[in-house]
Amino acid sequence: MNSPSFLAKKLEDLCKLSGKAESDFEKASLFAAAEAIVNRFLVDEYRIVLNGYAKEKLITARYHISQATGFADSGGHSVQSLVAMAMGQAHTFVQLMEEYESKIESEL
């Protein structure tokens, strides 16, 4: 099992890449990868680490990736602004997962 922060950083990478995707295949791949990572946190082995604030950051990052890749309405925002919003949410999520891991390690 990967650490929660490892997967969180992969989501952050997907945020960056969502602004560079050009073809429909690239956009669909990024969307699907983001969905898979989010589902690992919401449904699978990592769901226990999410409090309400962390869950909000995760879901909002996914939503902005969906918008940037054309799988959700952009709400009139440019791809660049959507990527920036996704990055902000994902960065906070990474920090929360790192804090969680530090807390667990200190309890051992």
Range of the domain at 47: 4-107
* Structural domain count of the chain: 1
Cα 87 to Cα 4: distance, rounded to the nearest angstrom: 17
Q: Are 86 and 15 in contact (CB under 8 A)?
A: yes
pLDDT digits (tens, 9 = 90+) for 32-61: 999 999 999 998 777 777 899 999 999 999
- Its pTM stands at 0.92
* Burial of 48 from C-beta contacts in 10 A (0-12 / 13-18 / 19+): exposed
How high is the pLDDT of residue 85?
98
The whole-number average pLDDT for the span 67-82 is: 97
Token look-up 């051992």 returns 108
C-alpha count within 13 angstroms, C-beta hemisphere, residue 94: 16
pLDDT digits (tens, 9 = 90+) for 60-74: 999 999 999 999 999
List the structure tokens of 16.
């960056």
